[in-house]
Amino acid sequence: MPYKEKTIEKKYYSIGEVAKMFDVSASLIRFWEEEFDIICPKKSKKGHRMFSKDDIDSIRLVYHLVKEKGYTLNGARDAIQGNRKNIEKSMRAIEKLKEIRSFLSDLRDQL
């Protein structure tokens, strides 16, 4: 997954920055915002979306379910409503395992 939590340093991010984090189009982020009520960025006086860390975490959850796990939009919506905490816990465990695998691969290559 292209998103790394450690990259979050600012308080708010533009839609372009968020789209780049996930390697998706800004229009997909706008579409997910309409489809999932857990994504609700603030808007500036000019109507520009301003995404917080919580918004980005919600997008990461949707990204994981739809792009990585292959859920339909309805399936992802139902999963989030029914079991968000367990899905987030599972997602963090998968990310940690990927990091460990990468570390071990790098270590093997150095031997």
Q: Is the pLDDT of residue 2 over 90?
A: no
Residue 107 lies in a domain: no
Quote the pTM value.
0.76
Cα separation, 36 vs 51, in Å, equals: 14
Contact 38, 61 (CB under 8 A): yes
Is residue 98 in a domain? no
Domain membership of residue 74 as a residue range? 5-83
Helix, strand, or coil (residue 79): helix
* pLDDT tens profile 22-72: 999 999 999 999 999 999 999 999 999 999 999 999 999 999 999 999 999
CATH classification of the domain holding 65: 1.10.1660.10
Structure tokens at 79: 């999963």
The total domain count for the chain is 1
For the chain, give the number of residues. 111
Residue 104 covered by a domain:
no
Kindly tell me if the per-residue pLDDT of 8 is higher than 70.
no
Task: Answer whether residue 90 is part of any domain.
Answer: no
State the pLDDT at residue 99: 92
**Residue 75 falls inside a structural domain:** yes
92 falls within a domain: no
pLDDT of residue 82: 85
**Confidence at residue 90, expressed as pLDDT on a 0 to 100 scale:** 85
43 falls within a domain:
yes
At 62 the pLDDT is 95
In a domain, 52, yes or no: yes
Answer whether residue 6 shows pLDDT above 70: no
Are 11 and 52 within 8 A, CB to CB? yes
DSSP SS3 for 48: coil
Give the pair of three-digit tokens for residue 80.
Answer: 């989030």
